[in-house]
Structure 1
Amino acid sequence: MSAHTNAHLSPAQAAQIADVSRWTIMRAIKSADLQAFRDNKNQWRIKTDDLNAWLSAQCAHTVHEDGDAHHMHTNAHPDPIAQDTLELVRVKAELEAEKMLRATVESDRDHWRKIAQKLAETRSRKWWFW
């Protein structure tokens, strides 16, 4: 169907899901902490699995840096409401990406339909002048 599916996010969508800035995502990509690739339009795309792995590593890194036992306890058992909110934001970002993809596909369809109609009109004419 498309080169990127709902499992491939833009840096802005990934930032929204991770609740960080787009620049944080871009720094993570540049430092190779976050795996990403460029699509055929030369835009960065991030797999959902890679984003989840990076988020897990960030949580583990935060727990490791902070020696506070209470902080480690809260990170070990995340708040279910926060997880639901994160999931909701992720689903909203995926829905928005699908809406944009659908608009692009519909635009392409309409363009090709116009071309096909023009070709059908020209085929009814004779190609020779005599």
Structure 2
Amino acid sequence: MSSHTPAHLSPAQAAQIADVSRWTIMRAIKSSDLQAFRDNKNLWRIKADDLNAWLSAHPAQCAHTVQEEADAHPVHTHAHPDPIPKETLELARLKAELEAEKTLRATVESDRDHWRELAQKLAESRPRKWWFW
């Protein structure tokens, strides 16, 4: 089971859905334009409703390219008048859950193998005398 509820996205997932960079999402979080919270693993999580509200309130934030201060190229903006479709959010949620489950499975299998190895070493060792007389 994943450590967050299904409607919560990581900044990377939110950036992918919003078609912006992760840094744009992080700047919006730091400036309190985008509501987010930290979960019990100290990772940022964003509610899908908050992401939709941010996208509708800040269409100018959604840029395909970021203009550096020294760069003279114009910025190409991409407005998001429509909220994120539920299918897209569901797909992102399922991908996040699958990754969390894969990570959890790998951790559990590694832990199991470690304990199995310890048990085999104990079973192969000769019995010890627990008394000194």
TM interval, short-chain normalised: 0.5 to 0.7
SS of 2:95's equivalent?
A: helix
- TM-score if structure 1 supplies the norm length? 0.63
Farther off after superposition, 49-58 or 26-35: 49-58
- Tell me which residue corresponds to 2:95: 96
- Tell me which residue corresponds to 2:53: 53
Structure 2, unaligned runs of 5 or more: 60-80
SS of 1:5's equivalent?
A: coil
Task: For residue 123 of structure 1, report the CA deviation from its aligned partner.
Answer: 4.4
Structure 1, unaligned runs of 5 or more: 60-74
Q: How does 1:37-52 map to 2 (within 5 A)?
A: 37-52=37-52
Determine the C-alpha separation between the residues in 2 that align with 1:58 and 1:99.
Answer: 31
Task: For residue 53 of structure 1, report the CA deviation from its aligned partner.
Answer: 3.0
Asked if 1:105 is matched to 2:100, the reply is: no
Task: For residue 99 of structure 1, report the CA deviation from its aligned partner.
Answer: 2.2
Size of the alignment, in residue pairs? 108
SS of 1:20's equivalent?
A: coil
The answer to whether the 8 Å contact 2:48/2:89 transfers is no
Asked if 1:15 is matched to 2:15, the reply is: yes
Opposite residue 2 of structure 1, the aligned amino acid is: S
Q: Which has the higher helix share?
A: 1
SS of 1:46's equivalent?
A: strand
The answer to whether the 8 Å contact 2:2/2:101 transfers is no
Determine the C-alpha separation between the residues in 2 that align with 1:47 and 1:126.
Answer: 57
